Amino acid sequence: MPPPRALTTYTTSLQAFHKKLLASQRILAVCGAGLSAASGLPTFRGSAGALWRTHKATDLATPEAFRADPGLVWSFYAQRRRAALRAEPNRGHLALAALGRWAVASAAEGREGRREFLCLSQNVDDLHSRASHPPSTLRLLHGSLFSLKCASQTCTWTEQNNTLDPLCAALVDPTSQTTQHIPPSALPTCPQCKTSLQRPGVVWFGEQLDASMLAEIDDWIARDEVDIVLVIGTSSAVYPAAGFAEQARGRGRKTSVVTVNLDAGVRGMKEGDFAFAGDAAVLLPLLLGPVIGEV
Protein backbone atom coordinates (compact mmCIF):
# COMPACT_ATOMS: atom_id res chain seq x y z
CA MET A 1 0.00 0.00 0.00
CA PRO A 2 1.53 3.38 -0.97
CA PRO A 3 2.06 5.83 1.92
CA PRO A 4 -0.48 8.65 2.35
CA ARG A 5 0.49 11.77 0.46
CA ALA A 6 0.85 13.66 3.75
CA LEU A 7 3.93 11.60 4.59
CA THR A 8 5.87 13.37 1.84
CA THR A 9 5.07 16.81 3.24
CA TYR A 10 7.90 16.83 5.75
CA THR A 11 11.55 15.97 5.69
CA THR A 12 10.99 13.29 8.34
CA SER A 13 11.03 9.82 6.86
CA LEU A 14 8.71 6.86 7.37
CA GLN A 15 11.68 4.56 6.82
CA ALA A 16 13.71 6.41 9.48
CA PHE A 17 10.81 6.22 11.91
CA HIS A 18 10.44 2.47 11.38
CA LYS A 19 14.14 2.03 12.10
CA LYS A 20 13.69 3.95 15.36
CA LEU A 21 10.54 1.98 16.23
CA LEU A 22 12.16 -1.40 15.76
CA ALA A 23 15.04 -0.40 18.03
CA SER A 24 12.78 1.02 20.76
CA GLN A 25 12.01 -0.63 24.07
CA ARG A 26 9.83 1.98 25.80
CA ILE A 27 7.06 3.88 24.01
CA LEU A 28 4.67 6.46 25.45
CA ALA A 29 1.56 7.75 23.68
CA VAL A 30 -0.46 10.86 24.52
CA CYS A 31 -3.82 10.90 22.72
CA GLY A 32 -6.34 13.67 22.17
CA ALA A 33 -9.75 14.12 20.60
CA GLY A 34 -8.37 14.07 17.06
CA LEU A 35 -7.90 10.31 17.41
CA SER A 36 -11.68 9.81 17.71
CA ALA A 37 -12.59 12.24 14.93
CA ALA A 38 -12.46 9.42 12.37
CA SER A 39 -15.07 7.61 14.48
CA GLY A 40 -17.44 10.54 13.96
CA LEU A 41 -16.93 12.24 17.31
CA PRO A 42 -16.19 15.98 17.08
CA THR A 43 -13.21 17.44 18.86
CA PHE A 44 -14.27 19.20 22.04
CA ARG A 45 -12.78 22.57 21.09
CA GLY A 46 -13.22 22.33 17.32
CA SER A 47 -15.86 24.13 15.28
CA ALA A 48 -18.12 21.06 15.18
CA GLY A 49 -18.06 20.57 18.93
CA ALA A 50 -17.50 24.07 20.27
CA LEU A 51 -21.20 24.90 20.64
CA TRP A 52 -23.98 22.78 22.07
CA ARG A 53 -27.38 24.32 21.54
CA THR A 54 -26.38 27.92 22.31
CA HIS A 55 -23.75 27.13 24.92
CA LYS A 56 -20.00 26.80 24.66
CA ALA A 57 -19.11 23.20 25.39
CA THR A 58 -16.20 24.30 27.57
CA ASP A 59 -18.57 26.41 29.71
CA LEU A 60 -20.69 23.35 30.51
CA ALA A 61 -17.77 21.15 31.58
CA THR A 62 -17.29 22.81 34.97
CA PRO A 63 -18.41 22.17 38.55
CA GLU A 64 -19.91 25.67 38.59
CA ALA A 65 -22.12 24.91 35.60
CA PHE A 66 -23.34 21.70 37.25
CA ARG A 67 -24.21 23.50 40.47
CA ALA A 68 -26.03 26.23 38.55
CA ASP A 69 -28.04 23.95 36.23
CA PRO A 70 -27.40 20.20 36.60
CA GLY A 71 -30.21 19.38 34.17
CA LEU A 72 -28.56 21.38 31.39
CA VAL A 73 -25.14 19.84 32.03
CA TRP A 74 -26.59 16.34 32.18
CA SER A 75 -28.41 16.93 28.86
CA PHE A 76 -25.09 17.87 27.30
CA TYR A 77 -23.37 14.77 28.66
CA ALA A 78 -26.30 12.51 27.79
CA GLN A 79 -25.89 13.57 24.17
CA ARG A 80 -22.13 12.90 24.32
CA ARG A 81 -22.79 9.46 25.86
CA ARG A 82 -25.25 8.61 23.11
CA ALA A 83 -22.86 9.71 20.36
CA ALA A 84 -20.01 7.70 21.89
CA LEU A 85 -22.18 4.60 22.20
CA ARG A 86 -23.04 4.80 18.51
CA ALA A 87 -19.43 5.34 17.43
CA GLU A 88 -17.00 2.52 16.69
CA PRO A 89 -13.26 2.36 17.39
CA ASN A 90 -11.27 3.26 14.31
CA ARG A 91 -8.05 1.72 13.01
CA GLY A 92 -6.02 4.18 15.07
CA HIS A 93 -7.56 2.82 18.28
CA LEU A 94 -7.00 -0.72 17.01
CA ALA A 95 -3.34 -0.01 16.23
CA LEU A 96 -2.69 1.37 19.73
CA ALA A 97 -4.49 -1.60 21.27
CA ALA A 98 -2.27 -3.92 19.24
CA LEU A 99 0.79 -2.05 20.51
CA GLY A 100 -0.52 -2.57 24.03
CA ARG A 101 -0.82 -6.32 23.43
CA TRP A 102 2.73 -6.30 22.03
CA ALA A 103 3.95 -4.83 25.33
CA VAL A 104 1.89 -7.23 27.45
CA ALA A 105 3.24 -10.22 25.51
CA SER A 106 6.79 -8.96 25.98
CA ALA A 107 6.26 -8.58 29.73
CA ALA A 108 4.84 -12.11 29.93
CA GLU A 109 8.06 -13.47 28.46
CA GLY A 110 9.87 -12.12 31.51
CA ARG A 111 13.08 -11.52 29.64
CA GLU A 112 15.53 -8.71 30.29
CA GLY A 113 15.09 -5.71 28.01
CA ARG A 114 11.37 -6.31 27.59
CA ARG A 115 9.28 -3.88 25.55
CA GLU A 116 7.04 -1.42 27.39
CA PHE A 117 4.18 0.80 26.25
CA LEU A 118 1.91 3.21 28.11
CA CYS A 119 -0.98 5.05 26.46
CA LEU A 120 -2.27 8.23 28.12
CA SER A 121 -5.60 9.33 26.68
CA GLN A 122 -7.47 12.57 27.25
CA ASN A 123 -10.53 11.04 25.56
CA VAL A 124 -13.58 10.07 27.61
CA ASP A 125 -15.47 8.15 24.90
CA ASP A 126 -14.24 4.64 25.92
CA LEU A 127 -13.25 3.79 22.34
CA HIS A 128 -9.81 2.67 23.54
CA SER A 129 -11.41 0.08 25.81
CA ARG A 130 -13.87 -1.03 23.13
CA ALA A 131 -10.88 -1.60 20.84
CA SER A 132 -9.68 -4.17 23.43
CA HIS A 133 -6.77 -2.04 24.59
CA PRO A 134 -5.12 -3.87 27.52
CA PRO A 135 -6.03 -1.98 30.73
CA SER A 136 -2.50 -2.37 32.08
CA THR A 137 -1.15 -0.18 29.26
CA LEU A 138 -3.93 2.46 29.24
CA ARG A 139 -4.59 5.44 31.51
CA LEU A 140 -7.70 7.58 30.96
CA LEU A 141 -6.53 10.99 32.16
CA HIS A 142 -9.93 12.65 32.09
CA GLY A 143 -12.11 9.72 33.15
CA SER A 144 -14.99 8.26 31.18
CA LEU A 145 -18.45 9.31 30.02
CA PHE A 146 -19.64 5.93 31.27
CA SER A 147 -18.43 6.39 34.82
CA LEU A 148 -20.67 7.99 37.42
CA LYS A 149 -19.80 9.54 40.76
CA CYS A 150 -21.53 11.41 43.55
CA ALA A 151 -21.51 15.18 43.15
CA SER A 152 -20.69 15.54 46.84
CA GLN A 153 -16.97 15.79 47.57
CA THR A 154 -17.51 13.98 50.87
CA CYS A 155 -19.19 10.92 49.33
CA THR A 156 -17.11 8.11 47.82
CA TRP A 157 -19.75 6.45 45.62
CA THR A 158 -18.76 5.65 42.03
CA GLU A 159 -20.05 3.35 39.30
CA GLN A 160 -18.11 2.14 36.28
CA ASN A 161 -19.24 1.05 32.81
CA ASN A 162 -22.76 2.45 33.02
CA THR A 163 -24.00 2.44 29.41
CA LEU A 164 -27.69 3.07 30.05
CA ASP A 165 -29.24 5.27 27.38
CA PRO A 166 -31.11 7.20 28.52
CA LEU A 167 -29.64 7.36 31.99
CA CYS A 168 -33.06 8.49 33.28
CA ALA A 169 -36.43 9.42 31.78
CA ALA A 170 -35.65 13.15 31.85
CA LEU A 171 -32.73 12.56 29.47
CA VAL A 172 -34.64 10.53 26.89
CA ASP A 173 -34.04 13.10 24.12
CA PRO A 174 -30.76 14.97 24.75
CA THR A 175 -30.41 15.84 21.05
CA SER A 176 -33.47 18.07 21.18
CA GLN A 177 -32.79 21.75 20.58
CA THR A 178 -35.50 22.77 23.05
CA THR A 179 -34.35 24.41 26.23
CA GLN A 180 -36.95 22.96 28.58
CA HIS A 181 -35.59 23.09 32.11
CA ILE A 182 -34.90 19.76 33.81
CA PRO A 183 -35.26 20.09 37.58
CA PRO A 184 -32.75 18.37 39.87
CA SER A 185 -35.56 16.20 41.22
CA ALA A 186 -35.80 14.50 37.80
CA LEU A 187 -32.12 13.48 37.82
CA PRO A 188 -30.62 10.37 39.47
CA THR A 189 -29.38 10.75 43.04
CA CYS A 190 -26.50 8.98 44.70
CA PRO A 191 -27.55 5.56 46.05
CA GLN A 192 -25.02 5.84 48.88
CA CYS A 193 -25.60 9.24 50.48
CA LYS A 194 -29.14 9.50 49.00
CA THR A 195 -28.97 13.31 48.97
CA SER A 196 -26.56 14.49 46.27
CA LEU A 197 -26.97 14.07 42.54
CA GLN A 198 -25.01 11.67 40.41
CA ARG A 199 -22.62 13.40 37.98
CA PRO A 200 -20.45 12.27 35.06
CA GLY A 201 -17.21 10.65 36.18
CA VAL A 202 -15.05 12.95 34.06
CA VAL A 203 -12.53 15.58 35.02
CA TRP A 204 -14.01 19.02 34.51
CA PHE A 205 -12.18 22.28 33.95
CA GLY A 206 -10.95 23.52 37.30
CA GLU A 207 -10.64 19.99 38.74
CA GLN A 208 -7.46 18.06 39.41
CA LEU A 209 -6.51 14.83 37.70
CA ASP A 210 -6.24 11.78 39.93
CA ALA A 211 -3.08 12.26 41.99
CA SER A 212 -2.28 8.57 42.33
CA MET A 213 -2.57 8.07 38.57
CA LEU A 214 -0.26 11.03 37.90
CA ALA A 215 2.28 9.66 40.38
CA GLU A 216 2.14 6.28 38.64
CA ILE A 217 2.74 7.95 35.26
CA ASP A 218 5.64 9.98 36.66
CA ASP A 219 7.19 6.80 38.04
CA TRP A 220 6.79 5.00 34.71
CA ILE A 221 8.46 7.84 32.79
CA ALA A 222 11.30 8.18 35.30
CA ARG A 223 12.04 4.48 35.55
CA ASP A 224 14.04 4.28 32.32
CA GLU A 225 14.66 6.05 29.05
CA VAL A 226 11.62 6.59 26.85
CA ASP A 227 12.56 5.98 23.22
CA ILE A 228 9.43 7.32 21.50
CA VAL A 229 6.58 9.62 22.53
CA LEU A 230 3.62 9.49 20.16
CA VAL A 231 1.55 12.70 20.38
CA ILE A 232 -1.67 11.77 18.60
CA GLY A 233 -4.65 13.90 17.63
CA THR A 234 -3.95 16.75 20.03
CA SER A 235 -2.57 20.25 19.88
CA SER A 236 -0.83 19.60 23.20
CA ALA A 237 -2.48 22.75 24.57
CA VAL A 238 -3.90 21.25 27.77
CA TYR A 239 -1.75 20.53 30.79
CA PRO A 240 -0.61 18.27 32.35
CA ALA A 241 -1.03 16.16 29.21
CA ALA A 242 0.93 18.72 27.18
CA GLY A 243 3.93 18.31 29.47
CA PHE A 244 4.31 14.55 29.24
CA ALA A 245 6.31 14.64 25.99
CA GLU A 246 8.92 17.02 27.36
CA GLN A 247 8.94 15.19 30.70
CA ALA A 248 9.69 11.95 28.87
CA ARG A 249 12.34 13.60 26.71
CA GLY A 250 14.31 14.49 29.83
CA ARG A 251 17.86 15.76 30.02
CA GLY A 252 20.28 13.82 27.86
CA ARG A 253 17.69 11.30 26.66
CA LYS A 254 17.54 10.33 23.00
CA THR A 255 13.77 10.49 22.90
CA SER A 256 11.93 11.03 19.62
CA VAL A 257 8.68 12.98 19.91
CA VAL A 258 6.42 11.90 17.05
CA THR A 259 3.46 14.14 16.24
CA VAL A 260 0.55 12.51 14.41
CA ASN A 261 -2.14 15.09 13.72
CA LEU A 262 -4.07 16.67 10.86
CA ASP A 263 -2.04 19.86 11.14
CA ALA A 264 1.25 18.41 12.38
CA GLY A 265 4.19 20.63 11.44
CA VAL A 266 7.91 20.87 11.91
CA ARG A 267 7.81 23.91 14.19
CA GLY A 268 9.27 23.09 17.57
CA MET A 269 10.78 19.81 16.38
CA LYS A 270 14.16 18.80 17.73
CA GLU A 271 16.74 16.48 16.26
CA GLY A 272 15.33 12.97 16.11
CA ASP A 273 11.69 14.10 16.19
CA PHE A 274 9.10 13.22 13.54
CA ALA A 275 5.89 14.89 12.31
CA PHE A 276 3.28 13.10 10.21
CA ALA A 277 0.28 15.15 9.07
CA GLY A 278 -2.96 13.32 8.43
CA ASP A 279 -5.72 11.20 9.91
CA ALA A 280 -4.45 9.17 12.87
CA ALA A 281 -6.79 6.33 11.87
CA VAL A 282 -4.86 6.04 8.59
CA LEU A 283 -1.36 6.87 9.81
CA LEU A 284 -1.08 4.82 13.02
CA PRO A 285 -1.51 1.39 11.37
CA LEU A 286 1.09 2.43 8.81
CA LEU A 287 3.53 3.85 11.35
CA LEU A 288 3.25 0.94 13.78
CA GLY A 289 2.95 -1.79 11.15
CA PRO A 290 6.48 -3.25 11.55
CA VAL A 291 5.67 -4.05 15.20
CA ILE A 292 1.94 -4.81 15.24
CA GLY A 293 1.35 -6.21 11.76
CA GLU A 294 -2.03 -5.74 10.07
CA VAL A 295 -5.02 -4.33 12.00
Angle at 36 between CA 284 and CA 270, to 5 degrees: 50
Please tell me the distance from the alpha carbon of residue 64 to that of residue 54, in angstroms, as a whole number.
Answer: 18
Please indicate if the annotation marks 155 as binding a ligand.
Answer: yes
Please tell me the distance from the alpha carbon of residue 152 to that of residue 172, in angstroms, as a whole number.
Answer: 25
Angle at 86 between CA 203 and CA 51, to 5 degrees: 55
List Cβ neighbours of 67 (8 Å cut-off, separation of 6 or more). none
Q: Which of 93, 128, 133, 142 is catalytic?
A: 142
Residues, the chain: 295
Helices then strands, each counted (H, E), the chain: 9, 11
Please indicate if the annotation marks 31 as binding a ligand.
Answer: no
The SS3 of residue 56 is: strand
List Cβ neighbours of 168 (8 Å cut-off, separation of 6 or more). 186, 187, 188
Please tell me the distance from the alpha carbon of residue 116 to that of residue 104, in angstroms, as a whole number.
Answer: 8
Q: Is 133 noted as a catalytic residue in this protein?
A: no
Please indicate if the annotation marks 119 as binding a ligand.
Answer: no
**What is the separation of C-alpha 90 from the centre of its chain, rounded to a whole number of angstroms?**
13
DSSP state letter for 271: T
From 31, 97, 94, 17, select the one nearest 276 (Cα to Cα).
Answer: 17
- Point out the annotated binding site: 150, 155, 190, 193
Known binding-site residue numbers for Zn(2+): 150, 155, 190, 193
Q: Residues with catalytic annotation?
A: 142
